[in-house]
């Protein structure tokens, strides 16, 4: 389960305020795995090798 990540703010290259989510490494893997079957397959292959 992923909790709602903290929300931060930064200035872009035109000095406009923009929001950003601050996610940990684990949660970023979960996000990518949901979006990319190829990435998920590589993770599963790696786990099987271990």
Its domain, for residue 34, covers 24-50
Residue 46 lies in a domain: yes
Q: Confirm whether 44 is domain-assigned.
A: yes
In a domain, 35, yes or no: yes
Decide: pTM greater than 0.75: no
Do the domain assignments include residue 19?
no
pLDDT at residue 18, rounded to an integer: 94
| Rounded Cα distance, 45 and 39, in Å | 10
Total tally of structural domains belonging to the chain: 1
Tell me whether residue 30 is in a domain: yes
Rounded CA gap, 47 and 41, in Å?
10
**Cβ 47 vs Cβ 33: under 8 Å:** no
The reported pLDDT for the residue numbered 16 is 96
pLDDT digits (tens, 9 = 90+) for 2-48: 777 788 999 999 999 999 988 888 888 888 888 999 989 998 899 89
7 within a domain of the structure (yes/no): no
Residue 41 maps to a domain:
yes
């Amino acid at each position: 389960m992923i909790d709602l990540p903290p929300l931060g703010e930064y200035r872009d290259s035109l000095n406009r305020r923009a929001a950003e989510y601050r996610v940990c490494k684990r949660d970023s893997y979960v996000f990518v795995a949901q979006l990319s079957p190829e990435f998920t397959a590589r993770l599963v292959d790696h786990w099987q090798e271990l």
